[in-house]
Each structure stands twice: as C-alpha cells, then as structure tokens.
Amino acid sequence: MYGAVSKEGIKADLEAMKQVGLGGAYLMPIRDSSRFSEYPNPANQLTPQWWEMVRYSMQEADRLGLQLGMHICDGFALAGGPWITPEESMQKVVWSDTIVSGGNLRNVRLKQPESYKGFYKEIALLALPATQWAGDAGTQPVRITSGNTDMGKTIDPAKGITIAADGVIRSSLPCWIQYEYARPFTCRNVEVILSGNNYQAHRLKVMASDDGVNFRLVKQLIPARQGWQNTDENSTHSIPATTARYFRFYWDPAGSEPGSEDMDAAKWKPNLKIKQLVLHSEPRLNQWEGKAGLVWRVAARTTDKEIGAADCINPNQVIDLTRYLRWGAYCETSQRPMEVVAHGAYGNGAHQCYRWWGYRTGVR
C-alpha cells in the first residue's frame, strides 16, 4: 500500500509464505504515496521502479516454487483509468419499459434508460405479453407487528426487536415480524431491502396464517453466496405461491454459517437489521438480481413450486420491434396488451463492474 515496498520486504514475505506452507499469493497494489508519504523511496504504480518490484516479485516466486498472480487494478476496483473514455469503458445493458394496449399504435415513447457521461447506444426494442402482475410494486400490509421469541426470559430492551419510526427493524435476539393484510393476499416472493450488508436478513423463516393464530411453514430463506460488495441491489427470495392474511418472518441467529470468502457478511456479529420487507404477487426468479448480473451472487435455481410453467413467458411470444425503433418510438398493430422493453448499452466508467439488466418476468 502507498508504494511502501522494497526488495528486502518482498523477499522476506515470500520466504515466510513458503516456510508456513502457502502455495502462492497475489500482488495487489493499493493507492500510491500521495495519500501517505512517510515511507522512504516509495514505488508508485506504473513507474519504472514499480515495474522492477513486480519483476523481482516474479523472480523470487519462481525461485521458491510459489504461484504469484496479479490483481488487475489498483485496490478493490476493476480495470480502467482516466484515459478510458465512456465509449471504451466497461459496459452494462440497461432498459426501460411501458405497458401499452395492442392496436394501431403510433409514436409510442419510451423513457431513455440511464446513461453515463452522454454515452448511450440502443440495442433492441422488444414486446412481450403483459401479465396481470405487470407493474407490481408490492402489496403493503395494514399492520406490522413484532416480538421476541424468548418471551420466558428477561429481554434486554437494547437487544430486543425494535421498529424505528423510519421502519428499520433491528434485533440481537431471536424474534418475529408479522405482516397483516386486510384481505387474503397471494405472495410469490419476498424482496429484502437493506441499508448495508446483513447476512442475517436472508435467513428468515416464512410462515403464513389465515387467522393470525395458526401458522404453517412456507419456506426457510437461504442466503445467496456473495462477496462483500453486495449492497448495490436488493435481494428477492422466491417462495411457493401462498395466499394468506398474515405472513410472519421468524429469525434466530442459531445455525448461522461462519464467515467465508464467498459469504463475507456472515462473519459479523449476528444482528438483524432490515430496512424493509416487500411482498410481491408477481412471479420473480429466486435471487434474480444476481442471476441478471446486477451484483455478484450465486443462488439456488428457482423451483417449479415457486414459478410454474403458466407463470413463464414463452420466448416465442416475444416480438422483436427493433426495426421500428426511432429513439424510443415504434409502430405495431398487435391486438394484445403487451409490455414493451427497450434495451441499450452505456459505458459505466473505469471503476465499475460489468452488469446485465434483465427482465423481471418469469422467463427462466
């Protein structure tokens, strides 16, 4: 870090790694001496002195029989630099959509998706049948209640469950959260919204009830495998379609997985902190945010019990309208209601990961 490297230090580090039985290491420079100048004669990145340190590291690794890899960039970002223009930077696919009724349509406008520093390139215009759930933003309960499950014990108010004025739910002890609806509501997935990493929020046990007294198990939520940069998107957990007036979410830190490289957030103190839970009727893939490439996550496949064939859109039903695309306008004569999706690409800068933005539909 900060260019604080020397050949003596490289040699000592690699020999110590060999001595304790490690198989190799990564070179991962982080920042240069402009941020911390106390180390004498620093090797700032990409200077001849720095490249000599890289060469020497490889030489020493070969001598010791160690494998040595090199991170692709400075710190925890990805490849790039100020010389990379938006057109040449890493790209992501973005989209916007709207609901229209079929017929003799003219000049239907779609909002241009986001862009970065003026770079945007259109890719395709597609139409797909609109489902009864199109535009589902979630169903709000009429009442949210909560409690701790260890009611036979004295509960420390500082550790028991609380729901703040802004809706944030916190607990350090086993607890439950209940959503009550005015009438029976069919839930197909639970969207977990956080204000940071919280592994425990993805370990909720979902229960349902018709009377608020007798509850049945719906599903035990399982966290996706994830890295520490897991805060860019919400997390959607698919559940079997369940109709009920009461949905209760139980949480218990017992059985938590120890922190690991692909479950970084699990290593922190097992506290529960949830900004919001949103229940949806629209079928959505389990952990679709990771499967669409919005964020790095690896999760189980969506089961037939969670999304059946009737909930899916056949690819043959998707209509390619790209030839009608004129910066968001198109003409089409279909008689069916449809959802129109415009796809485009833009450069998202030199220090962001590649992302793919997919449909929030039942296409598997």
Q: Are 209 and 218 in contact, with CB atoms under 8 Å apart?
A: no
Domain assignment of residue 351, given as a range: 86-131+313-356
309: exposed, middle or buried (Cβ count in 10 Å: 0-12, 13-18, 19+): exposed
If asked whether residues 172 and 110 sit together in one domain, one would say no
Quick: pLDDT tens for 199-245. 999 999 999 999 999 999 999 999 999 987 788 899 999 999 999 99
If asked whether residues 219 and 184 sit together in one domain, one would say yes
pLDDT band at 283 (very low <50, low <70, confident <90, very high): very high
pTM of the model: 0.76
Q: Where a domain ends, among 42, 70, 98?
A: 70
If asked whether residues 160 and 117 sit together in one domain, one would say no
pLDDT at 181 over 60: yes
Residue 161 structure tokens? 């469950």
pLDDT for residue 184: 95
Annotate 81-112 with DSSP letters as a single string. Answer: -TT--GGGS-EEEEEEEEEE--SSB-----PP
Domains in the chain, number? 3
Structural Rg of the chain based on CA atoms: 26
Query: For the chain, what percent of residues have pLDDT higher than 90?
Result: 49
Could you tell me if residue 2 is inside a domain?
no
Task: In whole angstroms, give the CA distance from residue 122 to residue 332.
Answer: 19
If asked whether residues 43 and 90 sit together in one domain, one would say no
Residue 9 structure tokens? 């230090």
Quick: pLDDT tens for 10-56. 999 999 999 999 999 989 888 888 877 788 889 998 899 999 999 99
Quick: pLDDT tens for 92-128. 888 888 888 776 667 788 888 888 888 888 888 888 8
Task: In whole angstroms, give the CA distance from residue 116 to residue 207.
Answer: 43
Annotate 157-214 with DSSP letters as a single string. Answer: TTTS-EE-TT--EEESS-EEEEEEEEEEEEEEEEEEE-SS--GGGG-PEEEEESSSSS
Query: Which strands make up the sheet holding 162-163, listed edge to edge?
Result: 162-163, 169-171, 272-274
Could you tell me if residue 138 is inside a domain?
no
Task: In whole angstroms, give the CA distance from residue 204 to residue 196.
Answer: 17
If asked whether residues 169 and 278 sit together in one domain, one would say yes
Task: In whole angstroms, give the CA distance from residue 63 to residue 58.
Answer: 9
pLDDT for residue 228: 78
pLDDT for residue 252: 96
Could you tell me if residue 246 is inside a domain?
yes
Residue 147 structure tokens? 């409690």
Question: In degrees rounded to 5, what are phi and psi of residue 155?
Answer: -95, 125
Which distant-in-sequence residues (6+ apart) come within 8 Å of 231 by Cβ?
194, 196, 197
Distance (Å) of CA 362 to CA 170, 267, 302: 33, 34, 10
If asked whether residues 46 and 108 sit together in one domain, one would say no
Could you tell me if residue 80 is inside a domain?
no
Could you tell me if residue 31 is inside a domain?
yes
If asked whether residues 156 and 51 sit together in one domain, one would say no
pLDDT for residue 304: 94
If asked whether residues 285 and 182 sit together in one domain, one would say yes
